[in-house]
Amino acid sequence: MNAPLRLPDLENKAFDPFTVERQYHGTHPDPYPLLHELRARGPVHEGAYRLLFTDVRDVMCDKENYLVLGYDACQEVLTRPEVFTNYGAFRYTIGRSFGHTVTVMDAPEHPKYRRIFQKAFLPQVVTKWGQRVVEPVINDLIGAFASRGEADLIEDFTHHYPFQVIYRQLRLEPDQAPIFHRLAIAQSLGAIGAPEGPEASGKLGAFFEALIEKLRADPKDDLVSHLATVEADGERLPNDVLISFLRQLMNAGGDTTYRGTSVLLTGLLTHPDQLAAVAADRRLIPQAIEEALRWEGPVASTWRYVSEDAEIQGTPVPKGAILNVVLGSANRDPAKFENPDAFDIFRDRSVRNLAFASGPHVCIGQHLARVEMTRALNAIIDRLPNLRLHASRPGPDIRGHLLRVPDHLFVEFDAV
């Protein structure tokens, strides 16, 4: 019972899920001009979001797709779950990769299990994790390059940071972390037909089933123990629901913070006056984070299924269609955000961004993402004095059409 659990790697050791994932998410430099043009013509258009920017198809491209653009139209879809449902859309994507997870569920099943998960992700709970788990990861990562006077904050920090937090929560052996990351990325690639997708899902499922059994018998002070034992109204999470959630954690939790933190640092470093303001007054950090989430949210588009003939902002959509709810368009809607393409931490905050969606399926882990982004920014400001973009290296270049992030963020600072 005390022996550490081991994960088997993919059978095809030559398969590189990270390269395939990048092809899946695209390298488009800037989707927003086209999104602005389409939104100006109306809130709903026929077509699939990804086919606007790439010819790499997924399982959703062969269905009847409609784009939903602009803040009000996206908000309407997200807050009408009785008409615009999750299961009809996500069973083809996340359902194939992760299984019976809350993202795929509709009412009455969804609120029943979401209540249990929410108890594990309350702000006071994730704040404790921040102190016990997040801080040591930050210290180890920054400590490895703080004396160099220069770094690539993507390769040296943000690309590892949230995933190492997850590894520690799972109590993975150090040599298991790369295998876990490969499997976690590979499982999502079943949506484009990669045979490694189902293989990775199966191996992670077996690992998590054994881990849950182990921790229910001997709970620890970690996320999985908490999820395995937490109750709401006297009910625990069934194994299939919990295993599916843990499969999704690496992508939903790790990627969200990785991309969010990378974009936050990019926004501030390319606007040094705003970085200086935050460094001088840490009370500005929450609004800097919200601006980063609005400017380049972790996910540019999500899906819903039309369960009956309906209208969106007066435009009809037929039963059976798949809606591509373009959150990136909502967060850059000029009717809601003045000069929306600009990064400005001082902008008016009266309209909430939709980076984590809205309605009953708003992201469960959003509090943890904000805690991790806050702690990362504080530590980088504290430990990398006179931080600035590297004078002789290329500047950051945010790319992608679905999950946008720069590949590099070269910086200089005073070595300590």
CATH number at residue 45: 1.10.630.10
Percent of the chain with pLDDT over 70: 99
DSSP state of 9: P
164: which strand partners? Answer: none
Lowest mean pLDDT among 30-34, 292-296, 368-372, 373-377: 368-372
Q: Exposure of 27 by Cβ count < 10 A (0-12 exposed, 13-18 middle, 19+ buried)?
A: middle
4 within domain boundaries: no
- Residue pLDDT, tens place only, 79-101: 999 999 999 999 998 998 899 99
Q: 198 Cβ partners below 8 Å, 6+ apart?
A: 96, 190
- In which element (H, E) is residue 398 found? strand 398-399
Nearest-angstrom CA–CA distance, 86 and 313: 20
Contact of 49 with 74, CB cutoff 8 Å: no
Average pLDDT over residues 223-248: 87
pLDDT at 1 over 70: no
5 within domain boundaries: no
What distance, in Å, lies between the first and last C-alpha atoms of the chain?
44
6 within domain boundaries: no
Contact of 101 with 238, CB cutoff 8 Å: no
46: which strand partners? Answer: 66
13 within domain boundaries: no
Average pLDDT over residues 395-405: 94
pLDDT at 373 over 70: yes
Question: What residues make up the domain containing 154?
Answer: 20-410
No. of helices (H) and no. of strands (E), the chain:
18, 12
Averaged confidence pLDDT in the chain: 92
270 within domain boundaries: yes
Counted residue by residue, the chain has a size of 416
Nearest-angstrom CA–CA distance, 292 and 347: 12
Query: Hey, is 36 helix, strand or coil?
Result: helix
Closest CA to 98 of 197, 7, 176: 197
- Sheet with strand 388-389: strands edge to edge: 150-152, 410-412, 388-389
> Phi then psi for 355, rounded to 5 degrees?
-55, -35
- Residue pLDDT, tens place only, 325-343: 999 999 999 999 999 999 9
> Phi then psi for 412, rounded to 5 degrees?
-125, 155
Query: Hey, is 117 helix, strand or coil?
Result: helix
Number of domains in the chain: 1
Q: 123 Cβ partners below 8 Å, 6+ apart?
A: 367
Q: For residue 357, how far is the Cα from the chain centroid?
A: 11
210 within domain boundaries: yes
pLDDT at 125 over 80: no
Nearest-angstrom CA–CA distance, 138 and 133: 9
306: which strand partners? Answer: 84
344 within domain boundaries: yes
- Residue pLDDT, tens place only, 177-191: 899 989 999 998 887
The structure's pTM equals: 0.94
9 within domain boundaries: no
pLDDT of 305 reads 98
Nearest-angstrom CA–CA distance, 198 and 274: 45
